[in-house]
Structures are given as C-alpha cells and as structure tokens.
Amino acid sequence: MLVSCWSAKGGSGATVVAASLATVMARRNPHGALLVDAAGDLPVALGLPSIEGPGLTDWLAAGPAVPADALARLEVPVHPGLRLLPRGGRRLDHPDRAEVLAALLAGDPRSVVVDVGLVDPHRSEGPAAEVAAVLARAGTESLLVTRPCYLAARRAYELPLRPSGVVLVAERHRSLGRWEIEDLLGVPVVAEVPFDPDLSRAADSGRLGRSVPRTVERALRRVA
C-alpha cells in the first residue's frame, strides 16, 4: 500500500500526519512500514540526528543504471518496524525517474507513506513541482492534508490534481468543517485529526517515530 500525504498550502500538517500514519501502519503490517521524505522535514519530527548521506534525490539523479537494491541501501532505521528513506542533499528533480520510483514503492510489501510536501504547480513550476505532483498522484491513497482554512481549501480546489481523500486537521472556532470541505473539493474526508497539543509536543520533541497520541491514532485507523 502506497499512501501519499501532501498539502496545497504550507503549514497544513502533511509531515506530522505522514509520520503519525507511518508509525501506526508499522504496527499493523507484519512487514513494517517505510516513510519516504520528499519534503525534507521528517528527521526533525522523528527525533533523528541530521542525515548527511545520500537519499531520495540522489537516487533520482543517478539514472536508470543504479542497482536494483540501491533504494534499500539508503534507508535508515527509525525504530523496529519503521524505516526512513531520507530526502538527500540534491534538488528534487528528474520527473521521469519519479514515475519509476513510485512503481517501486507501490510494489514494496511494507506499508509506504510518502511525505510529498507542498503540491502547488500554479505558484511553483519546474522539475521539483512535477516530481511532487507525480508522487502525490501515485498513491494508492492520495491524501490531501489541510486545515479548515478557506485559503488552503481554495488552493486545493484550483489544482488539477484531485486527492482520493482528505485528512482534515480540525481546529476549533473555524467556520469550515468536514461537510464544507467535502462539498468544495468533491472528495470524502477520510480522517479528522484533532489539533491536539500532545501532537504538537510530540513533533517538536521528535517523538513521532516512537509514539502517536491516542486521539490521533484513532483518527487515522481508517486510513491505516
């Protein structure tokens, strides 16, 4: 199973949702889970030291001559059952190779979660935007992560890319709710993740690779 987590506006919570979802899925799949970092923020959220070696972007740049097991060599352990494919030190590039990458990830027996980051081709053109769009589309589940914010929802509505579902990071005192988001985007809200202070503290302290607040885990079970 390949799950792509992406957002149409920065600060929507895609990295936190991706890390939490992969942690939950690692416990449910006997093969474990792989978390793929296309945005660059996961090591901090997972409490890992700075990763200086090659990663996803280096694999994309290497071309078709790389060995079949090259991706696996780039993975780093997070905890038993969960591994991370880091972003690497290059710019996100080579959209043609991104299609190959997506196919390899989809064939992995583990649950694979990709933190795609921002998908916004209207405001960010070029290879990086193309790679992000390829990875967002490729998921068995393509999940838009958004807050109940009109600007974020409007940007998602304007994209040519339609998610298979929405993960709504719910906040109190917002005029938009799941019904308004579903009506605007025409896709179901598959999970409502509460804006939980424990989740913010887990991300800030780098604990997301080890534990997920119970309220968040319950919200993500349907997706996992």
pLDDT (0 to 100) of residue 221: 83
Q: How far is CA 117 from the centre of its chain?
A: 7
pLDDT (0 to 100) of residue 25: 93
pLDDT (0 to 100) of residue 44: 85
pLDDT (0 to 100) of residue 37: 97
pLDDT along the chain (224 residues), means of 10: 94 91 92 96 86 91 84 93 94 92 94 94 75 93 92 89 93 79 94 76 65 81 80
Q: Quickly list H helices, 29-167.
A: 42-46, 56-62, 70-74, 95-106, 127-138, 150-158
Q: Say how far apart CA 158 and CA 185 lie, in whole Å.
A: 9
Residues 6+ apart with CB under 8 A from 203: 15, 16, 19, 45
Closest CA to 193 of 213, 167, 224, 175: 167
The number of domains in the chain is 1
* CATH code assigned at 17: 3.40.50.300
Residues 6+ apart with CB under 8 A from 214: none
Q: Say how far apart CA 93 and CA 211 lie, in whole Å.
A: 33
Q: How far is CA 74 from the centre of its chain?
A: 18
Q: Say how far apart CA 141 and CA 1 lie, in whole Å.
A: 8
**Domain carrying residue 82:** 2-220
pLDDT (0 to 100) of residue 218: 85
pLDDT (0 to 100) of residue 216: 83
Q: Say how far apart CA 2 and CA 11 lie, in whole Å.
A: 23
Q: Residue 44 burial (CB < 10 Å; 0-12/13-18/19+)? A: middle
Q: What is the DSSP string of 162-208?
A: --SEEEEEE-TT-S--HHHHHHHHSS-EEEEEE--HHHHHHHHTT-T
